[in-house]
Structure 1
C-alpha cells in the first residue's frame, strides 16, 4: 500500500506514518525543507518537498498513492481541495484530520454539559465554521468517486511515534507547572474529551482498513477537566495545586482563539460510530494516569 501523508514531521502525522510503515506501507510525506527530507528518508520514509499551498504538487502526489492522510492542518481548504482533486474518480481513500475545537463552546473555563456523538448536528462557534465547511467538503467528495472520511480527534496525549514526541496542550501545561505553576482559565471546570496517541494511530489504521466512505468519526477515550490536569501537574511539581488566569491573561500568552477554544472551552464527544464501524476499543491510559506516570519525580 502506498500512502501519501501531510504533516509527517508533526506529532500526529509522524505517529500515523510510523504505524503505517510498521504495517508494511510505503509512506511518502510532504516536507518543507531539504533537511527534513533527509531526516525522513533516513527514518525509512520517502519525501516530497513543498507546502500546503502547492496545489498541483499535492494533487499529483495524491494521485500516485493508494491512501492519502491529511494530518498537517484541519483548516487549509485549498490543500484539501487539491487532495480531493488528485483522488477524484479513483476510488482511493482520503482520511482528513479534524479537531475538537469544531465542537468547542466559549465557556471561559466554566462547566458545559453539551456532549456530541456522530449523530449530533454540528453547530460550531462562528470562529470555527470554516472547519465544519472543510469537513463537509471532504465527506461530500464521496460523490466524486473517492473514499473519504473525517477523523475528529479530541485532546491527544502520550509520546509520539515519529520525529516529534510531544503534543501541544499537556506539554504546555507541564512546562508551566515546572516553572512557577500551571494555570487553568477561570474556574477550570471546563471538560475536554481526550485520547492516547497509541489509540489514535490505531483508529487511523482501522479507518483506512474498514471505515465507511463519507463517514465522520470522533476519536476519544474519556474526559478530563483542565482544572484536574493543572492541579495534578502542580502537585507533581511541588507548587500550590490551584492556579487560575483570566481569559484576557491567557489570550495575551496563547492568542485569543487558543485561549478560548483550546484551553478555555468544553469539547465533549463520544465516538459511538468509531467504536461500531471500526471495531475500535481504546486501550491507553487515561490522561490523568499518563500525567502521573510521565511527570512524577
Structure 2
C-alpha cells in the first residue's frame, strides 16, 4: 500500500515508518522542515512538504494514498485550544478525502481523561466530543466517519511511549528532577501510568493499517499500570536523587506543566487488542529502559 503518514519524523511516527517500510509498503511522509524532509528522504520515504495546519497538503497526501496514518499533533500544552482546533481540522480534512473509499484511516489517540477509577478498556468509548474537548474530540469524529465509508481505527497510546531517545513525558520528568534536585511524585504516588515501548507501538500501528476492522479501538499498552511513585523512584536511582511527595496543589510549581498529568491515573488494559491483533509486546519495560541509563545521558 501507499501510506501517507503525518508526524512521520516524530517519535512514534519514525518507528512506524520503519515498520511500514519493512513490510513492503510505500510511505509518503509529511515534513514541515528541511531537516525532517532530509531525514525522511534518506530512509526511502517520499516527502510531502507541509504542516498540520496546511489542509491543502493534507488533502493532497490523502488523495494519493491507499491508507492514512495520522500521528502528528501540535502538543501545545500552553494553549490546548490551538492543538484541539488543529487536530479536529486535520481529521475532518483527511476523513473527508477518504469518505466512500473504505481506505484505512489510523488515528493516534490516548487513554487519558476517562476517570473511571479502573483501567480503560477498548470497549470504553471516548468521553470527548466537540472542538472544546481534548484533541478536539478527534477520536469520536474519526470513528463516526466509519458510516461514511472510512475504515477508521483509533490507536490509543499509553502516556509514556518509551525507549532510547525519547523526549516525551519521562524525559520531561527527568529534566524537572534535575532542576529541583529531587524527584517528585504527587500525593502518595499510588496513581498509575500505563506504558509501552516504542517498537511495540509501531508494530501495532502497522497492524491497524493492514488488518484492523473499521471502528476498532486498539490499545498500545504493554504495562497496564505502574505507580507514579515507582516511576519517580526509578528516575531517582538513575539520577542519584531522593524522591519526595508533592502536595496536589503544589504539583505544577514543583514539576512544571507536567505536574497536572503526573497527578492523574492513566492506567489501561490491552487484552482485547492482544486477542484481535495477536500482538504481544516484546520490547523492554519502562523500568528496564530507565535502568539502562538511556534517559540520563547527555
TM-score (norm 1): 0.85
1:265 maps onto 2:264 in alignment: yes
Q: How many residues matched?
A: 283
**Which string of whole-angstrom CA distances, capped at 9 and with x for unpartnered residues, describes residues 67-89 of structure 1?**
11110128410001111012112
Q: Note the alpha carbon deviations across 1:210-238, whole angstroms, 9 max, x for none.
A: 10101112221112111111112212322
Alignment of 1:12-161 (within 5 A): 12-73=12-73, 75=84, 76-103=87-114, 105=115, 113-123=117-127, 129-131=133-135, 133-159=137-163
Q: For residues 91 and 127 of structure 1, do their structure 2 counterparts lie closer, same or farther at Cα, with a shift above 3 Å needed? A: closer
What is the Cα deviation at residue 246 of structure 1?
3.7
Distance 1:20 1:233, change over 3 A: same
Structure 1 gaps of 5+ residues are 106-111
- Residue in structure 2 matched with residue 274 of structure 1 by the alignment: 273
How does 1:198-209 map onto structure 2 within 5 Å? 198-209=199-210
CA drift at 1:20? 1.0
- Decide whether aligned partners of structure 1 residues 178 and 255 sit closer, same or farther in structure 2, where only a CA change above 3 A counts: closer
Partner of 1:224: 226
* Distance in 2 between residues matched to 1:183 and 1:220, nearest whole Å: 24
The answer to whether the 8 A contact 1:142-1:148 is kept is yes
Residues 242-286 of structure 1: per-residue CA shift (max 9 Å, x gap): 223344544247665x432x2110011111321121111112222
Instruction: Describe the shift of the 1:233–1:147 C-alpha distance in structure 2 as closer, same or farther (beyond 3 A).
Output: same
Q: Which moved more, 1:46-55 or 1:31-40?
A: 31-40
For the pair 1:168 / 2:172, whether they are aligned, the reply is no
> Does the Cα contact within 8 Å between 1:183 and 1:230 map onto a contact in 2?
yes
Q: Secondary structure at the match of 1:280?
A: coil
Query: How far 1:177 sits from its partner (Å)?
Result: 4.2
Q: Distance in 2 between matches of 1:20 and 1:234?
A: 37
User: Displacement of 1:289 after TM fit?
Assistant: 2.1
Q: 1:288 maps to which residue?
A: 287
Counterpart for residue 240 of structure 2: 238
Checking the alignment, whether the CA contact within 8 Å between 1:155 and 1:193 is kept in structure 2 is yes
- How many Å apart are 1:11 and its aligned residue? 0.5
Deviations 1:37-75 (A, max 9, x none): 223212321111111112222122111111111101284
Aligned equivalent of 2:214? 213
Structure scoring higher RCO (CA < 8 A, sep ≥ 6) equals 1
3-state SS in 2 of match to 1:243: strand
Any unmatched runs of 5+ in structure 2?
74-82
Alignment pair present for 1:190 and 2:191: yes
Distance 2:265 2:97 in 1: 36
The root-mean-square deviation of aligned C-alpha atoms, in Å, is 2.6
Distance 1:72 1:238 in 2: 35
Give 1:124 shift.
Answer: 5.8
